[in-house]
Amino acid sequence: MKRSLPTVAAVFALALAGAVPAEAATVPDFPVPKIFGTTFQADPGHDFTKRISPRKDGILRGWITHVSTGQVEYTPIKWVKDKYTEGHFVGPSEGHVAAYASPVAKKVVFLSAFGCSADLAGFTVNRQGLGAKRCSRATLLARVKEYRRPSLITVYRGEIVKLQEIYTP
């Protein structure tokens, strides 16, 4: 009886592991793309000719373009140098199909570069220029409805589990 108890516990633990929702699971450490990368990130194997769907698991340098009930749409972005300024982010050109859609996890980690208040008066960034102030899911959804913010968007199991804003002047 003593030998079979650990075996039963292990089988039970494995059965429960498959039932863990994405937001409760530990998110792997994905490689972080160049923050100011000058090319759009590839998504090998993604079929853009079918309905809009989530990006593969990982971190995308992008921005949210549309918020609807239950999910958001987002596109990749790249840094373009300017003649008179340091540069700016741009999305895909008109007619270029590279959009994704995913639900935002209930326990999404939103790290703002401007703090959580609506006035956007304070800067809360780390040394790389990435958001460092954790704000609520409601703040995230309200903010992306107002304007596009360059961000590092982490997708895991089809959901957006983390969004970290990129500071740009």
Give per-residue pLDDT as tens, 56-105: 999 999 999 999 887 999 999 999 998 888 999 999 988 777 899 999 99
What phi and psi, each to the nearest 5 degrees, are found at residue 140? -55, -50
Residue whose C-alpha is closest to residue 67's, from 163, 157, 134: 163
- Residues 44-53, mean pLDDT to the nearest whole number: 84
The answer, as to whether pTM is greater than 0.85, is no
Q: Which residue has the tokens 């982010």?
A: 89
- The DSSP annotation for 11-68 comes to HHHHHHHTT--TTTSPPP-PPPPPTT-SSPPP-TT--TTSS--PPPSEEEEEEEEEEE
**How far apart, in whole angstroms, are the C-alpha atoms of residue 113 and residue 12?**
43
Q: What is the DSSP-derived secondary structure letter of residue 106?
A: E
Distance between CA 23 and CA 74 in Å, rounded? 19
